[in-house]
Amino acid sequence: MAKLVTIFGGSGFLGRQVARLMAKRGWRVRIAVRRPNEALFTRTYGAVGQVVPVLCNIRDEESVRAAMSGADAVVNCVNITSKQGKSTFKSIFEDGARNIARLSQEMGIAQVVHISGLGVDAASSSKYVAAKARGEAAVIENRPDAVVLRPSVLFGTGDSFYNRFASLARFGPIMPVIGSRTRMQPAHVDDVALAAVIAAEGQVASGIYELGGPDMLTVREIVEQVLKVTYRRRLVLNMPFWLARIGAGILDAAQYLTGGLFTNRLLNGDQLALLRQDNIVGEDARGFAAFGIQPSAPEAVIEDYLWRFRPSGQYDDIKQSAKNLRIS
């Protein structure tokens, strides 16, 4: 019988790509999510019955245990960017990660892959980064043989990074940018997913791997890439952190005062803290090379999915081509 992998958060931006690749390589795939009915699209990634979404809440030990029953490998891709009901940074990144690692050890699961993030630091002013760091430590404590992947910001079809800038570029002649000098190494989601699959198959040594793309870019340079691809001419201005902090404070207050009816996914204080620090691979860190992966650069990929933000969408290239026609 084919081996079985349980992917926690397998319907998310990264998790779905991991699931697709695992199925393609012949694995049976169990997608562990809170709302299986919203993950039914993953069933199309393999043959009938090969990919199955199951109910799981990683805050609950018995739920985690059931999701991992009979699994040969586990990949934890669960991620949130803000508090969502009872799902907090602590309950997801720390408690949930600890549950998965500890129970996988008890159940004798051979391979554990944990998705963390570049720049994790338990002393960070960002609650997101600090919780990620403590969760990573909990995984290593319970599963010292685990593979921990620390990707930089992810890009690819459906991302929440390049797509956000492209969406904002549609409005007005000015493009305000926060943390314009902060450096990043955007990693293609497909490359990170492949690294997770190779790790789940036990083809690399345990330990921490930092995954960054081939290009080290400032936030301003990333915005300029977006403007070039979407055919937008905008005046790019740096927004001071003090001014951005006021806006984030208002949005955070709105979420608090509405009891969560309004969820601040635009800009919060934690995201500002993230934009204050570089998100790049360390000089001596193991990275994509250990997996035999040549990472893709954003410039080679983003045009494939950002074309819809052009003034005339898919027709812009046709219009440009028509201008070059000569009627004799």
For each of the chain's 328 residues, which pLDDT tens digit applies? 799 999 999 999 999 999 999 999 999 999 999 999 999 999 999 999 999 999 999 999 999 999 999 999 999 999 988 777 788 999 999 999 999 999 999 999 999 999 999 989 998 888 899 999 999 999 999 999 999 999 999 999 999 999 999 999 998 899 999 988 999 999 999 999 999 999 999 999 999 999 999 999 999 999 999 999 999 999 999 988 888 888 778 877 777 777 666 766 677 777 777 788 889 999 899 999 999 999 999 999 999 999 999 998 766 666 666 666 655 5
CA distances, 214 to each of 13, 82, 184, 275 (Å): 21, 29, 10, 20
pLDDT of residue 219: 95
Distance CA 314, CA 190 (A): 24
- CA nearest to 254, candidates 263, 246, 243: 263
Give the CATH number of domain 4-218+276-309.
3.40.50.720
Q: Which helix (H) or strand (E) holds 303?
A: helix 303-306
pLDDT of residue 12: 95
What are the domain boundaries of the chain?
4-218+276-309
Distance CA 60, CA 142 (A): 17
Q: What angle do CA 189, 194, 195 make, to 5 degrees?
A: 100
Strands 217-218 and 183-184: antiparallel
Distance CA 77, CA 18 (A): 9
Q: Which helix (H) or strand (E) holds 177?
A: strand 174-178
* Contact between 139 and 297 (Cβ < 8 Å): no
Distance CA 111, CA 104 (A): 9
For the four alpha carbons of 162, 163, 166 and 168, in that order, the dihedral sign comes to: negative
**E strands present in 187-292:** 187-188, 207-211, 217-218, 235-239
What is the 8-class DSSP label of residue 87? B
For the four alpha carbons of 249, 182, 235 and 315, in that order, the dihedral sign comes to: negative
pLDDT of residue 153: 95
* Contact between 293 and 191 (Cβ < 8 Å): yes
pLDDT of residue 125: 84
